[in-house]
Amino acid sequence: MHLLTPSMASFLAWKQKYNKRYATQQEHNQRFLNYLESIEKVAELNKNSSPNVTYGLNSLSDLTDAEFRIRLGYKPSPVRRNIRSLANAEMVGQPAAFDWCLQQNMCTPIKDQLQCGSCWAFATTENIESVWAIGQRPNPLTPLSPQEIVDCDTGESGCDGGDPQQAYMFVVQIGGMDSAASYPYTGEDGTCAFSAANVMAKISNEANGFGGSETQMAANLASTAPFSIIVDASSWQYYTGGILPASQCGQSLDHAVIACGYQMGNYWNVRNSWGTGWGESGYIRLQFGQNTCGLTTEVLTSTL
């Protein structure tokens, strides 16, 4: 009779919680070692972290550092354009707290980009989903196809990375976005299968929503839609909750996400594309007013 060690027992419970399946015993053994390393990293992070943020084991705790970095797929577009700015919203009278996803129900469910550096395609898609739904109310939200952008936007690098700035204009040029149902996500580079007959949403342009300050950005967001932003997410792997302070986040931009809400002066609520087993059911809160993780660098939205 073989008795499980406490660490193996906890690993098996973790596997069950996150529905993990490994192809071979060799992979199982390696994932267990990665899991043990994650326990040590989490303990060190919590020892040295702000009391406002917590780190722990989550759905990414069996990844190596190199595998985690695959999910950080932002690469600046080689063509940098002068993007028109949204007209700044009036700040007086804007709500002190607002959220397109958690309050207004104008976001599709949290997605998982899997082991593909397609965050840029997800951020673009998720903004367009919300912009289309907000502009077409009361029509229901329709999940759109990030795989279309991964496969068909030849100006970017698919699972090796890209930039929402380029992706929005790709969607304009190709004629819209197919539904996720007609063009499902695979987590791999594929051959373009875009079909104009399956287009569910169209956009006409993109715009910069920053406005000059985070307070103005919040007013613009509440008046417009969730914005795609780029951030330094290199420290996010083990985030499980709370407000990540600027002091624990760098400025080396490597990931595209969605700023969907805020509590003025306190935090931004940010939607990620790593599944609901990460963070606060797929979200992370970032300290407000300190350009945390570089969140004000590229603040974009599609326009109808």
Q: What is the CATH number of the domain that holds 107?
A: 3.90.70.10
Res 10 pLDDT > 60? yes
% of the chain with per-residue pLDDT over 90: 94
Is 279 contained in some domain?
A: yes
On the question of pLDDT at 3 being above 60, the answer is no
Lowest mean pLDDT among 76-80, 186-190, 248-252: 76-80
In this model, does residue 1 exceed pLDDT 60?
A: no
Residue 138 has pLDDT above 80, yes or no: no
In a domain, 8, yes or no: no
* Residue 48 in this model has a pLDDT that exceeds 50: yes
Average of per-residue pLDDT across 193-197? 98
Task: Examine residue 31 and state whether it is found in any structural domain, yes or no.
Answer: yes
Residues 198 and 74: beta-carbon distance below 8 Å: no
**What is the SS3 string spanning the chain?**
CCCCCHHHHHHHHHHHHCCCCCCCHHHHHHHHHHHHHHHHHHHHHHHHCCCCEEECCCCCCCCCHHHHHHCCCECCCCCCCCCCECCCCCCCCCCCEEECCCCCCCCCCCCECCCCCCHHHHHHHHHHHHHHHHHCCCCCCCCECHHHHHHHCCCCCHHHCECHHHHHHHHHHHCCEEECCCCCCCCCCCCCCCCHHHEEECCCEEEECCCCCHHHHHHHHHHCCCEEEEECCCCCCCEEEEEECHHHCCCCCCEEEEEEEEECCCEEEEECCECCCCCECCEEEEECCCCHHHCCCCCEEEEC
Round to whole Å and give the CA distance between 84 and 55.
39
Residue 107 backbone class (left: φ over 0; alpha: ψ -120 to 50; beta: rest): beta
Do strands 239-244 and 283-287 pair parallel, antiparallel, or not at all (unpaired)? parallel
Mean pLDDT (the chain) is: 96
Which of the two residues, 144 and 137, has the higher pLDDT score?
Answer: 144
Q: What is the pLDDT of residue 214?
A: 98
Residue 41 domain flag: yes
Overall number of domains in the chain: 1
Q: Does any domain span residue 87?
A: yes
* Catalytic annotation, residues: 119, 255, 272
pLDDT the model gives residue 35: 98
State the residue range of the domain holding 135.
Answer: 25-303
Question: Across residues 156-163, what is the average pLDDT?
Answer: 98
In a domain, 270, yes or no: yes
**Is residue 6 in a domain?**
no
Q: Is residue 293 part of a domain?
A: yes
Considering only residues 195 and 3, tell me which one the structure prediction assigns the higher pLDDT. Answer: 195
The per-residue pLDDT for range 49-85, each reduced to its tens digit, is 999 999 999 999 999 999 999 999 999 988 778 999 9
Q: What is the pLDDT of residue 5?
A: 86
With 0-12 CB in 10 A as exposed, 13-18 as middle and 19+ as buried, what is 294?
A: buried
